[in-house]
Chain A
Amino acid sequence: ELSTRSINFAAYHTLDTIYSWMDSLVAQHPGLVTKEEVGRSYEGRPMYVLKFSTGSDRPAIWIDTGIHAREWVSQATGVWTANKIATDYGSDASLTSLLNSMDLYLLIVANPDGYVYTHTRDRMWRKTRSVNPGSACRGVDPNRNWDAGFGGPGASTNPCSDSYHGPAAHSEVEVKNVVDLITSHGNFKSFISVHAYSQLLMYPYGYSCSHVPDQPELDSVGRAAAQKLASLYGTSYRVGNICNIIYPASGGSIDWSYDAGIKYSFALELRDTGRYGFLLPASQIVPTASETWLALKHIMEHVRDHPY
């Protein structure tokens, strides 16, 4: 029932279904895909990353989807993308060469507690589900919790706010798990976080409006990726650094990864039809994922072709 052949990619799924489906993907592509537990969430749920690898000791690319729980098209895009990578390996020459030289890590549900909460209690939940001592409000914005200008502009000190940064950098175990994996691995060359909705392709910084040293290259890569994305359905993205094209936002994941030495750090905000906000109809998952794939692939190819 849950084989990769029968899962409906044009549907939203629960955490359990996604996790079970991961097992079937691994079973069907044993020489390519493994499912690794990165750690546990605040409420004790496992956090699984899919690792696509054809060798050992390789540089790697990181992609996470759905750090904000309610942005469901992100997690759904992650599922579709994982399947795309597994099925295209061996037939798509460019992807094959990429995976023959680099590993790819895909964290489909970066905030499992929040995701389950959106399915069971509050569809509009964004944050983690950790208890904030002294407050009736729960949760921290996991994209304000990274050690990158932590506690600076664009993050709230109020535990009831949707952009609450938390008591300390990496206080959220969901963030800490990723930080520990990236740090201990030590050879990630790209870090991509996928959000929804706003149609943006961004690079660091969010905690500062000053340009990063690699701004010209990141901007050029981002613009080319956005062009590729638009080539499928004409979906138009704005490209730039977080601070200038949205607003100052401290404690973000890609600011941390860039400052940790991962040059090719990007964040995407997926499709917005202007009618549904976070409730993009499931019929649009596959078109969204398909166009996003073109941008992701362009970035990954650039990373492969520009070792540093």
Chain B
Amino acid sequence: QRLFVGDQVIRINAESEEQIQLLQALETQEEWELEFWRRPVSTGLPVDVRVPRGSLEPVRSYLLAHDLPFSVLISNLQELLNEEKAEMERNQKL
């Protein structure tokens, strides 16, 4: 089963068209293996990205370097998945 230990989901609220373009550039950056849950489209919609643990540092640096405001939506994806799985197991027993 695929694990997501330490992966984070980051929400970025772009404030300008220029920042949207910076995020769109990230989409083509294959090395960091980012998964866009919500793609950069316009300043009105937040952008959610799953960042693998190994890419957290460079991604954070990129966002900080370009003044892209972000917050952590999910701090450890696997923890949330474990909670969901445990809840399902409890429910099945019930």
Name A11's closest neighbour in chain B (CB-CB). B91
**Given A11-B91, A122-B1, A122-B2, A276 and B74 touching (CB < 8 A)?**
yes
Interchain Cβ contacts under 8 Å between A and B, 26 examples:
A8-B91, A11-B87, A11-B88, A11-B91, A121-B1, A122-B1, A122-B2, A123-B2, A123-B84, A124-B2, A124-B4, A124-B35, A198-B38, A246-B45, A247-B41, A274-B11, A276-B74, A276-B80, A277-B74, A278-B37, A279-B74, A279-B77, A279-B81, A281-B84, A281-B87, A282-B91
Contact B88 A12, beta carbon cutoff 8 Å: yes
Q: How far is the CA of A246 from the CA of B42 in the complex (A)?
A: 8
Q: How far is the CA of A246 from the CA of B37 in the complex (A)?
A: 13
Contact B88 A124, beta carbon cutoff 8 Å: no
Q: How far is the CA of A246 from the CA of B73 in the complex (A)?
A: 20
B9: which A residues are within 8 A, CB to CB?
277
Other contacts beyond A238-B44, A282-B84: 19, CB < 8 A = A12-B84, A122-B1, A122-B2, A123-B81, A123-B84, A124-B2, A124-B4, A162-B35, A247-B41, A274-B11, A275-B74, A276-B73, A276-B74, A277-B48, A277-B73, A279-B74, A279-B84, A281-B84, A281-B87
The verdict on A120 contacting chain B, using a C-beta distance below 8 Å, is yes
Hey, what's the 0/1 contact readout for B11-51 against A, CB within 8 Å counting as 1?
Answer: 10000000000000000000000010111010011101010
**Given A11-B87, A12-B84, A124-B35, A246 and B50 touching (CB < 8 A)?**
no
The verdict on B65 contacting chain A, using a C-beta distance below 8 Å, is no
Q: How far is the CA of A275 from the CA of B46 in the complex (A)?
A: 12
A-B pair number, CB within 8 angstroms = 53
Contact A277 B39, beta carbon cutoff 8 Å: no
Nearest CB in chain A: distance from B55 CB, A = 16
Contact B50 A282, beta carbon cutoff 8 Å: no
